[in-house]
Amino acid sequence: MMMLSPEAAVCSPRVWKVVVFLTIALRLSSGTPVDKHHKIDVNKCLTLSKQLLDQVKESLTHPDVTEGFNCTDNVIVLEDFTENLTSTVRTCSPGQEFGRCEESGDSQECHFSSYQCYQNITADLQIYQAKLQNFSHITGNVCKHIQHLLKALNSDSIYEDTDFEGGSTTEDEEKHAIEFPQRMSLCKILQAFKLRTITINRVMNFLNDTKL
């Protein structure tokens, strides 16, 4: 596991994101199964992923996101914030993989790896956690639920000891409400994360039903 020095904890958000992405890239590139994934309670992860999706939807109704601004996936051009970093949709879609393997006749590629799927989901959660923590007075509860799911996945998340402030908006925060460009950015992140969380829910449903 990559160890972070005390200096890294106070680095700029841009440098911090680089550290996050490098850590994720190293984990995914290793390609080795993690033994602790054997201990995952998939049913618990399914419950937590549903709660996370509810929190994401609730955050999309926050006044700093919606007031005077139409934040819907119908009007927003969504961005894949995990592009070139994770491959959750492909890795966690066994039906598509099986069909492709049957056509190729390569039985080795037909094996669905729950380990790789869990690794990609973990990486997705960490990427969005890093982006959403900059809007903590709006997304604090979302970040807390991300952390709960990360722990259920037995992840050694680099945010494991982070306390996220969430809930109602304070008077000081209302005076410094985020401006339109930041609201647009937050809207895109939340809408993209909502879609990814829906995918995670479907994956957890599949894993819970098949007990993989």
Q: What is the pLDDT of residues 41-88, one digit of tens each?
A: 999 999 999 999 999 999 999 988 888 788 887 767 778 888 888 888
Residue 104: its H or E element: helix 94-104
- Per-residue pLDDT band at 102 (split at 50, 70, 90): low
Residue 91: its H or E element: helix 88-91
Percentage of residues in the chain having pLDDT higher than 90 = 37
Supply the pLDDT for residue 38: 52
Convert the pLDDT of each residue in 23-40 to its tens digit.
Answer: 554 445 444 444 444 579
Domain spans in the chain, listed from the N-terminal domain onward:
41-210
d(CA 91, CA 51): 23
Convert the pLDDT of each residue in 107-138 to its tens digit.
Answer: 445 567 888 899 999 999 999 999 999 898 89
Supply the pLDDT for residue 106: 52
